[in-house]
Structure 1
Amino acid sequence: MRIVVDADACPVKDILIRIARERQIPVIMVCDTAHELSDSYSTHITVDKARDSADICLANLLEREDLVVTQDYGVAALALGKGARALNPMGLEYTNANMDQLLFERYVGQKIRRGGGRAGKNKKRTAADDKAFERALLRAVDGKNME
């Protein structure tokens, strides 16, 4: 198992590095040139700033049994298709059972935004969100169902 991270806007890098280091799980962080990463544990892959370049690189790296941490439903769907597990920074496991609904909600939100509307509010991250992610990550690295 490796943990592969869509690191462009990942708010839980410190948590996952700590847990991965404790458990000696390799971590690969993928980001574009607009972001700077620095930790002494993970492998960093920096790609150009083109649209979806980090997502494409990440999808190409994935292997069966990897764990992907991403906020992007499309990346999560690709991970599931390759036999990997996927987790978002709020602790939600992406599964075949919830992916269709999540992709549909993304489509509706994009349609609303294209029409000039707003598709919901982004809540500020809390300590409880970090704890939820940590619990889900621990379950994932222990090979347990996260649901």
Structure 2
Amino acid sequence: MKIFIDSDGCPVVHLAIEMGKSYNLDVIVVKNYCHEIYDEYASIVTVDKSPDSADFYIANRAEKGDIIITQDYGLAALALAKNAFCINQNGLIIDSKNIEQLLEQRYINKELRKNHRYYTKFKKRTSQWDIQFKKSLKRLIEANFPSQINCNN
């Protein structure tokens, strides 16, 4: 099992690497060449900056049982089709029960922005979101991969 991180704009890259390391999991951070990310534990993959390059890289390499960390619901849908697990930066576990609604909301928001009727305003990230992300990722790993649990976690 591997953890893939769609790192472009992802505020939890280092938290995810830390969690992956604590469970002795392979962590692959996929970024475009405009971002600088370094880590001694994780494998860092650099792709070009064209739209969705990181998403396509991950979608083409994800396998059943891998964990994908992404804010992109399109990538999440592709990963779910491969029986991978998905989680977003706020700790929302994305699955077959909620992906359709998330994709529909993404489409509606895109149309509203296109017609200048709605502008996304992101709330400032709080430490509570980091705590929720870590709890959800831990739950996802431990529920699906009990063999990865050791006394260090």
TM superposition score normalised by structure 2: 0.91
The one-letter amino acid paired with 1:39 is: D
Task: State how far apart, in whole Å, the 2-side matches of 1:32 and 1:133 are.
Answer: 23
The one-letter amino acid paired with 2:142 is: D
Task: State how far apart, in whole Å, the 1-side matches of 2:120 and 2:33 are.
Answer: 29
Task: State how far apart, in whole Å, the 1-side matches of 2:29 and 2:17 are.
Answer: 10
Corresponding residue number in structure 2 for 1:117: 117
Distance apart, 1:59 and its partner CA:
0.4
Q: What is the SS of the residue equivalent to 1:140? A: helix
Distance apart, 1:141 and its partner CA:
1.1
Distance apart, 1:41 and its partner CA:
0.6
For 1:1-147, list aligned pairs within 5 A.
1-143=1-143
Task: State how far apart, in whole Å, the 1-side matches of 2:129 and 2:141 are.
Answer: 18
Q: What is the SS of the residue equivalent to 1:41? A: coil
Distance apart, 1:140 and its partner CA:
1.0
Q: What is the SS of the residue equivalent to 1:96? A: coil
The one-letter amino acid paired with 2:111 is: K
Task: State how far apart, in whole Å, the 1-side matches of 2:36 and 2:117 are.
Answer: 32
Distance apart, 1:112 and its partner CA:
0.5
Task: State how far apart, in whole Å, the 2-side matches of 1:65 and 1:124 are.
Answer: 32
Distance apart, 1:18 and its partner CA:
1.2
Higher mean displacement: 79-88 or 16-25: 16-25
Task: State how far apart, in whole Å, the 1-side matches of 2:58 and 2:34 are.
Answer: 16
Distance apart, 1:120 and its partner CA:
4.0
Distance apart, 1:51 and its partner CA:
1.3
Higher mean displacement: 93-102 or 14-23: 14-23
Task: State how far apart, in whole Å, the 1-side matches of 2:28 and 2:109 are.
Answer: 30
Number of aligned residue pairs: give it.
144
Structure 2: tracts of 5 or more residues without a match: 145-153
Distance apart, 1:130 and its partner CA:
0.3
Distance apart, 1:119 and its partner CA:
4.1
TM superposition score normalised by structure 1: 0.94
Structure 1: tracts of 5 or more residues without a match: none
Task: State how far apart, in whole Å, the 2-side matches of 1:60 and 1:120 are.
Answer: 30
Task: State how far apart, in whole Å, the 2-side matches of 1:143 and 1:119 are.
Answer: 37
Task: State how far apart, in whole Å, the 2-side matches of 1:97 and 1:13 are.
Answer: 26
For the aligned residue pairs, the C-alpha RMSD in angstroms reads 1.0
The one-letter amino acid paired with 2:51 is: R
